[in-house]
Amino acid sequence: MRTDLIRKTALIVAGIAATAGGIAGPAIAAQATPAERAAAVVADRKSGERELGVRYEAQPNFYFCGPAAARNALSVQGKNIDVAAMAKEMGTTEAGTNSINDITPVLNKETGKDVYRSTEIPVDKAGDKVDKLRADVVRAVDDGRAVVANIAGTATDTDGTVHSFEGGHYISVVGYRDGGKVVTIADSANPDQASYRMDVEALAHWIASRGYSS
């Protein structure tokens, strides 16, 4: 069964709108020198917190969450890729995008060979995979890259807001705080909830039975 089917009515309305600016301020100024950027990363690591600047776009329909998540993830590297073109490369249809393994090759095409790798989280191993997910998010974000995750079910963010995608969904992870214990999510489903934070343990259980690309 396809993995990112979600409620059409909510997403058709939400997908019409999109924000023009970033959902999170870039941690490092674009005009900074390489030495300044490197120093900023070191400072971020010491503080245990870093967020990447996202040129956010909401998904245009109920089944483009995979391509939209990948597009938002790549935007942190300054890439501006047409979401419809990405959907074609991923084999996305009205049934959605099959799995994270259809996302990873497209991310690598735009970023570099074998930069991204897929990691699966079995349902009964979610608790055991929290530390790996945390380390992978920190590593990717420190490298200036966002993580794309395939999630399903219901999870609650740090503000107590419930996010429910029983049929499945794709999101981007674009930052972390507290050394990776809390992550920042860019969600293409609803521009009114474009960005929120979640405990990494909750995210691991949200991903369970699916996977992520980092």
pTM value is: 0.83
CA 39/CA 24 separation, integer angstroms: 20
Asked if the structure places residue 2 within a domain, the reply is no
Instruction: Give residue-wise pLDDT tens across range 124-168.
Output: 999 999 999 999 999 999 999 999 999 999 999 999 999 999 999
Asked if the structure places residue 172 within a domain, the reply is yes
141: CATH: 3.90.70.10
Q: Could you tell me whether strands 147-156 and 182-186 are parallel, antiparallel, or unpaired per DSSP bridges?
A: unpaired
Asked if the structure places residue 188 within a domain, the reply is yes
Nearest alpha-carbon partner for 15 in 79, 73, 64: 64
Q: State the maximum Cα–Cα separation within the chain, in Å, rounded to a whole number.
A: 48
pLDDT of residue 112: 86
Tokens of 123: 């349902």
Task: Domain of residue 202: give its range.
Answer: 8-213
Contact (CB, 8 A) for 52 and 141: yes
Asked if the structure places residue 1 within a domain, the reply is no
Rounded to 10°, the helix 100-111/65-75 angle is 30
Residue type, 189: A
Asked if the structure places residue 3 within a domain, the reply is no
* Structural domain total, the chain: 1
Asked if the structure places residue 201 within a domain, the reply is yes
pLDDT of residue 187: 98
